[in-house]
Structure 1
Protein backbone atom coordinates (compact mmCIF):
# COMPACT_ATOMS: atom_id res chain seq x y z
CA UNK A 1 0.00 0.00 0.00
CA UNK A 2 2.83 2.36 0.76
CA UNK A 3 4.31 1.84 -2.71
CA UNK A 4 0.92 2.45 -4.31
CA UNK A 5 0.41 5.67 -2.36
CA UNK A 6 3.84 6.86 -3.43
CA UNK A 7 2.98 6.09 -7.03
CA UNK A 8 -0.30 8.03 -6.78
CA UNK A 9 1.43 10.99 -5.15
CA UNK A 10 4.18 11.06 -7.76
CA UNK A 11 1.65 10.96 -10.57
CA UNK A 12 -0.26 13.83 -8.95
CA UNK A 13 2.93 15.89 -8.76
CA UNK A 14 3.77 15.12 -12.36
CA UNK A 15 0.23 16.07 -13.37
CA UNK A 16 0.89 19.56 -12.07
CA UNK A 17 4.03 19.79 -14.14
CA UNK A 18 2.17 18.44 -17.16
CA UNK A 19 -0.54 21.10 -16.83
CA UNK A 20 2.09 23.82 -16.56
CA UNK A 21 4.14 22.63 -19.53
CA UNK A 22 1.05 22.04 -21.60
CA UNK A 23 -0.05 25.65 -21.20
CA UNK A 24 3.37 27.20 -21.56
CA UNK A 25 4.14 25.40 -24.79
CA UNK A 26 2.11 24.35 -27.78
CA UNK A 27 1.58 21.38 -30.05
CA UNK A 28 3.45 18.08 -30.09
CA UNK A 29 6.66 19.49 -28.58
CA UNK A 30 4.95 20.67 -25.41
CA UNK A 31 3.08 17.38 -25.06
CA UNK A 32 6.25 15.33 -25.47
CA UNK A 33 8.02 17.45 -22.85
CA UNK A 34 5.13 17.00 -20.40
CA UNK A 35 4.97 13.24 -20.89
CA UNK A 36 8.72 12.89 -20.42
CA UNK A 37 8.60 14.89 -17.18
CA UNK A 38 5.70 12.72 -16.00
CA UNK A 39 7.56 9.46 -16.61
CA UNK A 40 10.81 10.66 -15.08
CA UNK A 41 9.03 12.01 -12.00
CA UNK A 42 7.08 8.81 -11.34
CA UNK A 43 10.10 6.57 -11.86
CA UNK A 44 12.35 8.71 -9.68
CA UNK A 45 9.92 8.97 -6.79
CA UNK A 46 9.17 5.23 -6.78
CA UNK A 47 12.87 4.30 -7.01
CA UNK A 48 14.03 6.59 -4.21
CA UNK A 49 11.12 5.83 -1.86
CA UNK A 50 10.84 9.50 -0.98
CA UNK A 51 8.15 10.32 1.57
CA UNK A 52 7.85 13.94 0.45
CA UNK A 53 5.06 13.34 -2.04
CA UNK A 54 2.20 15.85 -2.05
CA UNK A 55 -1.31 14.61 -1.39
CA UNK A 56 -3.86 14.91 -4.15
CA UNK A 57 -5.52 17.75 -2.19
CA UNK A 58 -2.29 19.74 -2.36
CA UNK A 59 -2.01 19.57 -6.14
CA UNK A 60 -2.84 22.91 -7.78
CA UNK A 61 -3.45 23.12 -11.52
CA UNK A 62 -2.40 26.31 -13.26
CA UNK A 63 -5.40 28.13 -14.66
CA UNK A 64 -3.53 30.78 -16.62
CA UNK A 65 -0.75 30.70 -19.17
CA UNK A 66 2.71 30.23 -17.74
CA UNK A 67 5.24 32.14 -19.79
CA UNK A 68 8.53 33.81 -19.10
CA UNK A 69 9.20 37.20 -20.66
CA UNK A 70 12.06 37.12 -23.12
CA UNK A 71 14.72 39.80 -22.74
CA UNK A 72 14.50 42.53 -25.33
CA UNK A 73 17.13 42.64 -28.01
CA UNK A 74 19.68 45.39 -27.41
CA UNK A 75 18.95 48.57 -29.32
CA UNK A 76 21.79 50.67 -30.63
CA UNK A 77 21.79 54.00 -28.87
CA UNK A 78 21.75 57.17 -30.94
CA UNK A 79 23.51 60.35 -30.01
CA UNK A 80 21.48 62.68 -27.81
CA UNK A 81 20.36 65.54 -30.04
CA UNK A 82 17.89 67.15 -27.65
CA UNK A 83 20.35 69.70 -26.27
CA UNK A 84 21.71 71.02 -29.58
CA UNK A 85 21.80 74.82 -29.41
CA UNK A 86 21.86 75.31 -33.18
CA UNK A 87 21.31 73.43 -36.40
CA UNK A 88 25.04 73.48 -37.02
CA UNK A 89 25.65 71.86 -33.65
CA UNK A 90 22.99 69.25 -34.40
CA UNK A 91 24.55 68.44 -37.77
CA UNK A 92 27.85 67.77 -36.00
CA UNK A 93 26.21 65.13 -33.78
CA UNK A 94 24.65 63.10 -36.63
CA UNK A 95 26.45 59.90 -37.53
CA UNK A 96 26.77 59.78 -41.33
CA UNK A 97 29.20 56.86 -41.54
CA UNK A 98 26.64 54.09 -42.02
CA UNK A 99 24.97 52.89 -45.19
CA UNK A 100 21.92 54.84 -46.33
CA UNK A 101 18.77 53.39 -47.82
CA UNK A 102 17.90 54.24 -51.41
CA UNK A 103 15.21 56.67 -50.24
CA UNK A 104 17.55 58.48 -47.88
CA UNK A 105 20.20 58.65 -50.60
CA UNK A 106 17.71 60.38 -52.91
CA UNK A 107 16.84 62.87 -50.18
CA UNK A 108 20.50 63.60 -49.44
CA UNK A 109 21.27 63.97 -53.16
CA UNK A 110 18.46 66.51 -53.53
CA UNK A 111 19.94 68.51 -50.66
CA UNK A 112 23.44 68.24 -52.14
CA UNK A 113 22.64 69.23 -55.71
CA UNK A 114 20.01 71.86 -54.97
CA UNK A 115 21.51 73.60 -51.97
CA UNK A 116 25.04 72.51 -50.99
CA UNK A 117 26.17 76.14 -51.28
CA UNK A 118 23.30 77.40 -49.13
CA UNK A 119 23.28 77.85 -45.33
CA UNK A 120 22.13 74.86 -43.30
CA UNK A 121 18.64 76.32 -42.84
CA UNK A 122 18.32 76.51 -46.61
CA UNK A 123 19.49 72.92 -47.01
CA UNK A 124 17.01 71.76 -44.40
CA UNK A 125 14.24 73.63 -46.20
CA UNK A 126 15.01 71.83 -49.47
CA UNK A 127 14.84 68.47 -47.68
CA UNK A 128 11.56 69.56 -46.10
CA UNK A 129 10.04 70.29 -49.51
CA UNK A 130 10.91 66.79 -50.74
CA UNK A 131 9.45 65.21 -47.60
CA UNK A 132 6.29 67.36 -47.77
CA UNK A 133 5.74 66.33 -51.39
CA UNK A 134 6.10 62.65 -50.53
CA UNK A 135 3.36 63.13 -47.93
CA UNK A 136 1.06 65.09 -50.26
CA UNK A 137 -1.34 63.12 -52.48
CA UNK A 138 -0.62 65.42 -55.44
CA UNK A 139 2.94 64.09 -55.66
CA UNK A 140 4.60 60.65 -55.70
CA UNK A 141 4.69 58.95 -52.31
CA UNK A 142 8.42 58.30 -51.88
CA UNK A 143 11.52 60.48 -51.90
CA UNK A 144 13.14 59.02 -55.01
CA UNK A 145 9.99 59.35 -57.10
CA UNK A 146 9.53 62.94 -55.90
CA UNK A 147 13.10 63.87 -56.82
CA UNK A 148 13.03 62.15 -60.23
CA UNK A 149 9.56 63.39 -61.18
CA UNK A 150 9.74 64.91 -64.63
CA UNK A 151 10.58 68.63 -64.89
CA UNK A 152 10.80 69.18 -61.14
CA UNK A 153 14.50 69.27 -60.23
CA UNK A 154 16.97 70.64 -62.77
CA UNK A 155 19.88 68.44 -61.69
CA UNK A 156 17.98 65.28 -62.70
CA UNK A 157 18.80 64.12 -66.23
CA UNK A 158 16.62 61.55 -67.98
CA UNK A 159 15.11 60.46 -64.69
CA UNK A 160 18.53 59.75 -63.18
CA UNK A 161 20.20 61.45 -60.23
CA UNK A 162 23.91 62.08 -60.71
CA UNK A 163 26.42 60.76 -58.19
CA UNK A 164 27.66 63.24 -55.56
CA UNK A 165 31.31 63.81 -54.72
CA UNK A 166 31.31 61.51 -51.71
CA UNK A 167 34.65 62.63 -50.33
CA UNK A 168 33.55 66.20 -49.61
CA UNK A 169 32.31 67.95 -46.50
CA UNK A 170 29.31 69.14 -48.54
CA UNK A 171 28.15 65.55 -49.06
CA UNK A 172 28.63 64.73 -45.37
CA UNK A 173 26.49 67.74 -44.44
CA UNK A 174 23.84 66.79 -46.99
CA UNK A 175 23.55 63.31 -45.48
CA UNK A 176 23.25 64.77 -41.98
CA UNK A 177 20.59 67.25 -43.10
CA UNK A 178 18.62 64.47 -44.80
CA UNK A 179 18.61 62.43 -41.60
CA UNK A 180 17.64 65.43 -39.49
CA UNK A 181 14.75 66.30 -41.80
CA UNK A 182 13.55 62.70 -42.06
CA UNK A 183 13.59 62.23 -38.27
CA UNK A 184 12.08 65.69 -37.67
CA UNK A 185 14.89 66.62 -35.30
CA UNK A 186 14.83 70.33 -36.13
CA UNK A 187 12.06 72.70 -37.22
CA UNK A 188 12.46 74.04 -40.72
CA UNK A 189 11.65 77.66 -41.56
CA UNK A 190 10.02 76.31 -44.74
CA UNK A 191 7.49 74.45 -42.58
CA UNK A 192 4.86 73.08 -45.00
CA UNK A 193 6.38 74.38 -48.26
CA UNK A 194 5.92 72.33 -51.42
CA UNK A 195 7.79 74.50 -53.94
CA UNK A 196 10.86 76.69 -54.14
CA UNK A 197 12.89 78.59 -56.70
CA UNK A 198 16.03 80.69 -56.85
CA UNK A 199 15.67 84.36 -56.04
CA UNK A 200 17.08 85.38 -59.44
CA UNK A 201 14.16 83.87 -61.40
CA UNK A 202 10.46 84.76 -61.48
CA UNK A 203 8.45 81.69 -62.52
CA UNK A 204 4.82 82.29 -63.41
CA UNK A 205 3.56 79.56 -61.07
CA UNK A 206 4.90 81.45 -58.04
CA UNK A 207 2.20 84.10 -58.44
CA UNK A 208 -0.42 81.58 -57.41
CA UNK A 209 1.50 80.46 -54.32
CA UNK A 210 1.96 81.79 -50.80
CA UNK A 211 5.56 82.46 -49.82
CA UNK A 212 6.61 80.69 -46.64
CA UNK A 213 10.26 81.71 -46.28
CA UNK A 214 13.17 83.29 -48.10
CA UNK A 215 16.49 81.72 -47.18
CA UNK A 216 19.58 83.05 -48.86
CA UNK A 217 19.12 82.30 -52.58
CA UNK A 218 15.82 80.40 -52.40
CA UNK A 219 12.17 81.34 -51.87
CA UNK A 220 9.86 78.64 -50.53
CA UNK A 221 6.11 78.45 -51.24
CA UNK A 222 2.98 76.57 -50.33
Structure 2
Protein backbone atom coordinates (compact mmCIF):
# COMPACT_ATOMS: atom_id res chain seq x y z
CA UNK A 1 0.00 0.00 0.00
CA UNK A 2 1.45 3.40 -0.97
CA UNK A 3 1.39 6.55 1.17
CA UNK A 4 -1.50 8.16 -0.76
CA UNK A 5 -3.68 5.12 -0.44
CA UNK A 6 -2.90 4.89 3.28
CA UNK A 7 -3.79 8.60 3.77
CA UNK A 8 -7.14 8.15 1.99
CA UNK A 9 -7.91 5.09 4.07
CA UNK A 10 -7.11 6.94 7.28
CA UNK A 11 -9.28 9.90 6.29
CA UNK A 12 -12.15 7.58 5.46
CA UNK A 13 -11.87 5.84 8.82
CA UNK A 14 -11.77 9.17 10.65
CA UNK A 15 -14.81 10.39 8.75
CA UNK A 16 -16.69 7.22 9.64
CA UNK A 17 -15.85 7.63 13.34
CA UNK A 18 -17.03 11.28 13.31
CA UNK A 19 -20.26 10.29 11.56
CA UNK A 20 -20.92 7.48 14.01
CA UNK A 21 -20.18 9.70 17.02
CA UNK A 22 -22.31 12.67 15.93
CA UNK A 23 -24.93 10.42 14.43
CA UNK A 24 -25.63 8.75 17.77
CA UNK A 25 -25.85 12.11 19.60
CA UNK A 26 -28.04 13.71 16.95
CA UNK A 27 -30.31 10.70 16.78
CA UNK A 28 -31.11 10.98 20.52
CA UNK A 29 -31.76 14.74 20.34
CA UNK A 30 -33.94 14.41 17.26
CA UNK A 31 -35.89 11.55 18.80
CA UNK A 32 -36.56 13.69 21.89
CA UNK A 33 -37.59 16.71 19.81
CA UNK A 34 -39.94 14.56 17.80
CA UNK A 35 -41.35 12.66 20.78
CA UNK A 36 -42.26 15.73 22.88
CA UNK A 37 -44.73 17.36 20.42
CA UNK A 38 -46.37 13.98 19.91
CA UNK A 39 -46.77 13.41 23.65
CA UNK A 40 -48.15 16.92 24.20
CA UNK A 41 -50.52 16.54 21.30
CA UNK A 42 -51.86 13.31 22.77
CA UNK A 43 -52.38 14.92 26.17
CA UNK A 44 -54.20 17.89 24.71
CA UNK A 45 -56.42 16.03 22.27
CA UNK A 46 -57.11 12.69 23.95
CA UNK A 47 -59.05 11.88 27.11
CA UNK A 48 -56.86 10.67 29.97
CA UNK A 49 -56.30 6.88 29.90
CA UNK A 50 -54.94 5.40 33.12
CA UNK A 51 -53.82 2.25 31.31
CA UNK A 52 -51.73 4.07 28.66
CA UNK A 53 -50.63 7.44 30.01
CA UNK A 54 -47.35 7.54 31.92
CA UNK A 55 -47.64 8.24 35.61
CA UNK A 56 -45.89 11.61 35.41
CA UNK A 57 -47.75 12.85 32.33
CA UNK A 58 -49.06 16.43 32.50
CA UNK A 59 -52.83 16.69 32.17
CA UNK A 60 -54.55 19.81 30.91
CA UNK A 61 -58.02 20.69 32.22
CA UNK A 62 -60.36 21.67 29.41
CA UNK A 63 -62.65 23.74 31.67
CA UNK A 64 -61.65 26.14 34.48
CA UNK A 65 -62.20 24.99 38.05
CA UNK A 66 -64.42 27.40 39.98
CA UNK A 67 -64.55 27.46 43.76
CA UNK A 68 -67.89 28.24 45.37
CA UNK A 69 -67.86 31.51 47.26
CA UNK A 70 -70.23 31.64 50.23
CA UNK A 71 -73.06 34.06 49.71
CA UNK A 72 -73.04 37.12 51.97
CA UNK A 73 -75.23 37.03 55.06
CA UNK A 74 -78.67 38.60 54.68
CA UNK A 75 -78.67 39.87 58.24
CA UNK A 76 -76.38 41.84 60.50
CA UNK A 77 -73.13 40.43 61.83
CA UNK A 78 -72.66 39.79 65.56
CA UNK A 79 -71.52 42.63 67.78
CA UNK A 80 -69.71 42.03 71.08
CA UNK A 81 -71.45 43.92 73.89
CA UNK A 82 -71.32 43.50 77.65
CA UNK A 83 -74.14 44.39 80.03
CA UNK A 84 -75.42 43.37 83.44
CA UNK A 85 -79.09 43.56 82.46
CA UNK A 86 -81.25 43.40 79.36
CA UNK A 87 -82.21 47.04 79.82
CA UNK A 88 -78.53 48.04 79.87
CA UNK A 89 -77.87 45.92 76.79
CA UNK A 90 -80.75 47.56 74.91
CA UNK A 91 -79.33 50.97 75.79
CA UNK A 92 -75.88 49.97 74.50
CA UNK A 93 -77.05 48.33 71.27
CA UNK A 94 -76.57 50.65 68.27
CA UNK A 95 -79.76 51.45 66.35
CA UNK A 96 -78.64 54.38 64.20
CA UNK A 97 -77.03 52.34 61.42
CA UNK A 98 -79.02 50.76 58.60
CA UNK A 99 -80.57 47.32 58.97
CA UNK A 100 -81.16 44.64 56.35
CA UNK A 101 -84.75 43.99 55.29
CA UNK A 102 -84.72 40.70 57.20
CA UNK A 103 -83.78 42.50 60.41
CA UNK A 104 -86.41 45.17 59.79
CA UNK A 105 -89.07 42.44 59.52
CA UNK A 106 -87.94 41.04 62.86
CA UNK A 107 -87.98 44.50 64.48
CA UNK A 108 -91.41 45.27 63.01
CA UNK A 109 -92.84 42.07 64.48
CA UNK A 110 -91.44 43.01 67.90
CA UNK A 111 -92.86 46.52 67.55
CA UNK A 112 -96.40 45.55 66.52
CA UNK A 113 -96.73 42.44 68.69
CA UNK A 114 -95.12 43.56 71.92
CA UNK A 115 -94.08 47.22 72.09
CA UNK A 116 -96.18 47.59 75.24
CA UNK A 117 -94.59 44.55 76.88
CA UNK A 118 -91.52 44.53 79.13
CA UNK A 119 -88.19 44.03 77.36
CA UNK A 120 -88.13 40.33 78.28
CA UNK A 121 -91.50 39.90 76.55
CA UNK A 122 -90.28 41.72 73.45
CA UNK A 123 -87.17 39.56 73.35
CA UNK A 124 -89.35 36.45 73.64
CA UNK A 125 -91.44 37.48 70.63
CA UNK A 126 -88.26 37.98 68.60
CA UNK A 127 -87.00 34.60 69.78
CA UNK A 128 -90.15 32.83 68.55
CA UNK A 129 -89.69 34.31 65.06
CA UNK A 130 -86.03 33.28 65.00
CA UNK A 131 -86.94 29.77 66.19
CA UNK A 132 -89.52 29.49 63.43
CA UNK A 133 -87.02 30.56 60.77
CA UNK A 134 -84.69 27.80 62.00
CA UNK A 135 -87.43 25.16 62.13
CA UNK A 136 -88.47 23.04 59.15
CA UNK A 137 -92.12 23.63 60.10
CA UNK A 138 -92.04 27.27 58.99
CA UNK A 139 -90.47 29.46 56.28
CA UNK A 140 -86.72 29.89 56.54
CA UNK A 141 -86.36 33.69 56.73
CA UNK A 142 -87.70 36.33 59.08
CA UNK A 143 -89.86 38.22 56.58
CA UNK A 144 -91.54 35.05 55.34
CA UNK A 145 -92.19 33.90 58.92
CA UNK A 146 -93.77 37.24 59.87
CA UNK A 147 -95.92 37.52 56.73
CA UNK A 148 -97.02 33.87 56.70
CA UNK A 149 -100.77 33.71 56.30
CA UNK A 150 -102.91 33.74 59.46
CA UNK A 151 -99.97 33.86 61.88
CA UNK A 152 -99.69 37.48 63.07
CA UNK A 153 -102.78 39.64 63.40
CA UNK A 154 -101.01 42.91 62.56
CA UNK A 155 -100.14 41.66 59.05
CA UNK A 156 -102.72 42.64 56.45
CA UNK A 157 -102.81 40.89 53.09
CA UNK A 158 -99.25 39.71 53.48
CA UNK A 159 -97.96 43.24 54.15
CA UNK A 160 -96.43 44.63 57.33
CA UNK A 161 -97.63 48.12 58.34
CA UNK A 162 -95.13 50.95 58.66
CA UNK A 163 -94.09 51.60 62.27
CA UNK A 164 -93.63 55.04 63.78
CA UNK A 165 -89.90 55.21 63.04
CA UNK A 166 -89.41 58.34 65.16
CA UNK A 167 -90.71 56.68 68.35
CA UNK A 168 -88.73 55.33 71.26
CA UNK A 169 -90.68 52.06 70.93
CA UNK A 170 -89.26 51.58 67.42
CA UNK A 171 -85.72 52.18 68.64
CA UNK A 172 -86.21 49.56 71.36
CA UNK A 173 -87.70 47.10 68.88
CA UNK A 174 -84.69 47.50 66.59
CA UNK A 175 -82.31 46.98 69.51
CA UNK A 176 -84.23 43.88 70.66
CA UNK A 177 -84.13 42.47 67.12
CA UNK A 178 -80.35 42.83 67.01
CA UNK A 179 -79.90 41.32 70.46
CA UNK A 180 -82.11 38.33 69.65
CA UNK A 181 -80.54 37.69 66.26
CA UNK A 182 -77.00 37.99 67.59
CA UNK A 183 -77.82 35.83 70.63
CA UNK A 184 -76.51 38.46 73.02
CA UNK A 185 -79.06 37.66 75.75
CA UNK A 186 -80.87 34.43 76.64
CA UNK A 187 -84.63 34.57 76.29
CA UNK A 188 -87.07 32.93 78.68
CA UNK A 189 -88.98 31.72 75.62
CA UNK A 190 -86.10 29.33 74.91
CA UNK A 191 -87.12 27.14 71.93
CA UNK A 192 -90.78 28.27 71.78
CA UNK A 193 -92.50 28.31 68.40
CA UNK A 194 -95.88 29.73 69.45
CA UNK A 195 -97.36 32.34 71.75
CA UNK A 196 -100.68 33.99 72.45
CA UNK A 197 -102.13 36.65 74.70
CA UNK A 198 -102.89 35.41 78.19
CA UNK A 199 -106.52 36.57 78.05
CA UNK A 200 -107.41 34.01 75.33
CA UNK A 201 -107.35 30.20 75.34
CA UNK A 202 -106.85 28.91 71.79
CA UNK A 203 -107.59 25.23 71.21
CA UNK A 204 -104.18 24.59 69.59
CA UNK A 205 -102.41 25.49 72.84
CA UNK A 206 -103.81 22.42 74.62
CA UNK A 207 -101.37 20.15 72.79
CA UNK A 208 -98.33 22.38 73.26
CA UNK A 209 -95.70 22.47 75.98
CA UNK A 210 -95.52 25.74 77.90
CA UNK A 211 -92.10 27.41 77.90
CA UNK A 212 -92.77 30.71 79.67
CA UNK A 213 -95.36 33.26 80.69
CA UNK A 214 -94.07 36.81 80.39
CA UNK A 215 -96.44 39.59 81.35
CA UNK A 216 -99.48 39.18 79.04
CA UNK A 217 -98.10 36.49 76.69
CA UNK A 218 -97.70 32.72 77.08
CA UNK A 219 -95.07 30.90 75.00
CA UNK A 220 -95.22 27.28 73.83
CA UNK A 221 -93.22 24.67 71.99
Same fold at TM > 0.5: yes
The match for 2:143 is: 144
> Which secondary structure state, in structure 2, belongs to the residue aligned with residue 117 of structure 1?
coil
> Which secondary structure state, in structure 1, belongs to the residue aligned with residue 219 of structure 2?
strand
Alignment partners' CA distance in 2, 1:207 and 1:165: 36
Deviation readout 1:125-168 (Å, 9 max, x if unpaired):
00000000000001000000000000000000000000000000
Kept in 2: contact 1:106–1:147 (CA 8 A): yes
Deviation readout 1:154-208 (Å, 9 max, x if unpaired):
0000000000000000000000000000000000000000000000000000000
Alignment partners' CA distance in 2, 1:124 and 1:181: 6
The match for 1:81 is: 81
> Which secondary structure state, in structure 1, belongs to the residue aligned with residue 88 of structure 2?
helix
> Which secondary structure state, in structure 1, belongs to the residue aligned with residue 149 of structure 2?
coil
Q: Report 1:42-191 matches (<5 A).
A: 80-82=80-82, 84-191=83-190
Uncovered stretches (5+) of structure 1, i.e. residues with no partner: 1-77
TM-score, scaled relative to structure 2? 0.64
Instruction: Compute the displacement of 1:81 (Å).
Output: 1.6
Deviation readout 1:64-116 (Å, 9 max, x if unpaired):
xxxxxxxxxxxxxx87522x110000000010001110100000000000000
State the 4+ residue runs in structure 1 displaced beyond 3 angstroms.
none
Kept in 2: contact 1:79–1:93 (CA 8 A): no
Alignment partners' CA distance in 2, 1:131 and 1:106: 11
Whichever of the two has the greater Rg, that structure is 2
Uncovered stretches (5+) of structure 2, i.e. residues with no partner: 1-77
The match for 1:51 is: none
> What is the CA RMSD across the aligned residues, in angstroms?
1.4
Alignment size in residue pairs: 145
